[in-house]
Amino acid sequence: MAVVIASSLRKEIGGSLLFDGASFKLERRDRLALSGPNGAGKTTLLRILAGQTERHGGELAFEKGARVALHDQRPPLGRSLTLREYVLSGATDLVALEQELSRLEAAMVAGDHGPATLERYARAQARLEHAGGWAWRERATGVVRGLGFADPDLDRALETFSGGELTRASLARTLTGDPDVLLLDEPTNHLDVASLEWLERELAALDAAVVLVAHDRWFLEAVTTAVLELEAGRATYFAGPWHVWRREKAERALHAQKTAERVGADIERLERFVERFRYKKSKARQAQAKLTQIVRLERERKAAAGEAALLARRTRSLGFEFLAPPRSGRTVVEVEGLSLAAGEKELLADVSFVLERGEHVGLVGPNGSGKTTLLETLLGGRGPEAGAARLGYGVEVAYFDQQDVELDGRGTLLQCVQAATGLARPQAQSLLGRFLFSGWEAHEKRVAVLSGGERRRLALAIVVASGANFLVLDEPTNHLDLESREALEAALEAFPGTILLVSHDRALLDAVATRILALEDGSVRSYDGGWADFTRDSAETAKPAQAEAPAPKAKPQPKARPARSRPSELELIEGRITACEERVAELEHALAEDWGDVDRIAAHREARRELEQLLARWEELFDQASA
């Protein structure tokens, strides 16, 4: 049964069309991804579904009694609440259910066993069981932990948290309410990789319909079952996983391009006929008919060419073109005996490493492990507790800061770019255009009125045009759409200088990084290769520690059993898990070389699904053996 049905939804802003014809039907466990460039209306559509903004056409119907929850990028309002109070405030329905069950139980004890009372009790009990029963508060605490918070955080006031932590708190609140329709706007922002993978598993198991906006390609591949594309006012629905939609879109673009070329050739042939025979009386009627046919074909060619241009939108994405940087010395960064702390919390102790010219290095680690603090220390923005960090000879740094984009807000975008880069007016205008600030009106817009996403885009444009030979990028893809991420990825791969990149975008790390520096337990460990190599190598490193309990979660070992000539099912499952993990690692390594290989993407998706099933069966057998 459908939980939500949308038919031909239409939205206008300021009298201009934002989108029209948005139609879809979602059942429980359907996962619809909204795709499209920034400004196409994805967030607006989520707010229409949540009832927070009006629509200007179409029909929208929900299953009777359906509960709808929206997570977006707006910060919580009640900052005096603790994290626990805020998260549980998203589950007022469940508190009301508990109260209703208590009232009904009291009524039944008093002798009320009428059909209406029993029916209400059964309905309320079933609803509470769906949310996890009377233990739903414990489940809520598990959600908070899964999103990277520690138990002491539960009693902290929201006003003590950072913006990224507040976004994660909002996501926890939305998930805790046990909605029937879950609306997620950029849920992957501010999540480290461990939390991303937890969220992927949580959404896969959730008994609800999900509509989401995300730009993390690995996340979309793991979660999506359908896609609704919003672009140029149109809405196109595709029933199928994300990678199949991408392949189908590319095929449509190719077909449209071929159609435009074929029709163009037909028009040229007809024009030659008309040119040759239009003044001959015997052929005049035929020539006139050909002219009419040319007019019709011109309309067809225009439509096909427009379709091809729309589908091949990558040509409109950000034009990341790096200036050839000056050559630095061989050593770009040297870190020796470095120790860092944040207040009383020790982040790193006695760390040493070197970055050399031309290396593209990814810096990874859980939220709060000290990645941004390390970047600031390397660049001289703060002092270490001990040790030293030095830049090499001839190193020119361009720093993209995820926390605070520093821009001169006193003038226009054009003035800001010229002042920061030294570009002449035409080159500065061209740079702005490549970053989707097109036309005189956009160029003369005041920097002070830009949105957060626009400010980041402008700052990234300045970094691109800086001519630096050492790029330090802290979460550069936040607020970039999918095509722009891929354009940045391609440019960073080709950048001849040195890169130090902090990102939770696993596809970006896999494509760009030639080495990974991982912040692990207060130290820095180096892994050669991209993200897939890192996950494989770190798993290999962890194997000795798992020898005593080769399980996905820590549990006591089963009692020793007498030797048998044939392996148990538990042992067989363990062997299959090992083989499946190796298969997943191989596919991820192959995808690092060619992310566009849709067959490998499908194989990777299937291998991950098989691994999850094997792990679930392993846990079941392990519990039985431990009993």
* Same domain for 277 and 180: no
* Same domain for 310 and 437: no
**Integer angstrom CA distances of residue 305 from 43, 263, 294, 585:** 29, 10, 16, 41
* Same domain for 564 and 480: no
Token representation of residue 464: 């691109």
What region does 51 belong to: left with phi over 0, alpha with psi -120 to 50, or beta? left
* Same domain for 408 and 384: yes
Q: Of 288, 316, 344, which one is at a domain's C-terminal end?
A: 316
Let me know: does 437 contact 458? Beta carbons within 8 Å: yes
Q: Is residue 203 included in any domain, yes or no?
A: yes
Reference 34, options 231, 170, 197; nearest CA is: 231
Count of structural domains within the chain: 4
* Same domain for 478 and 401: yes
Q: Which residues of the chain have pLDDT under 50?
A: 313-316, 545-565
The pTM assigned to this predicted structure is: 0.67
Q: Of 243, 267, 289, which one is at a domain's C-terminal end?
A: 243
Q: If DSSP states are collapsed to H, E and C, what string results for 526-568?
A: EEECCHHHHHHHHHHHHHHHHCCCCCCCCCCCCCCCCCCCCCC
Q: What is the DSSP letter of 45?
A: H
Q: What is the DSSP letter of 412?
A: B
| pLDDT recorded at residue 395 | 93
- Supply the CATH number for residue 22's domain: 3.40.50.300
Q: Is residue 257 included in any domain, yes or no?
A: yes
* Same domain for 572 and 473: no
d(CA 436, CA 179): 37
| pLDDT recorded at residue 356 | 92
| pLDDT recorded at residue 563 | 39
* Same domain for 249 and 232: no
Q: Is residue 538 included in any domain, yes or no?
A: no
Let me know: does 500 contact 354? Beta carbons within 8 Å: no
Q: Of 293, 316, 339, which one is at a domain's C-terminal end?
A: 316
Q: Is residue 541 included in any domain, yes or no?
A: no
* Same domain for 258 and 212: no
d(CA 196, CA 219): 8
Q: What is the DSSP letter of 213?
A: E
Q: Is residue 27 included in any domain, yes or no?
A: yes
| pLDDT recorded at residue 547 | 47
Q: Is residue 262 included in any domain, yes or no?
A: yes
Q: Is residue 89 included in any domain, yes or no?
A: no
Domain range spanning residue 228? Answer: 2-79+139-243
* Same domain for 580 and 604: yes
* Same domain for 471 and 341: yes
| pLDDT recorded at residue 77 | 66
* Same domain for 218 and 183: yes
Q: Is residue 147 included in any domain, yes or no?
A: yes
* Same domain for 342 and 216: no
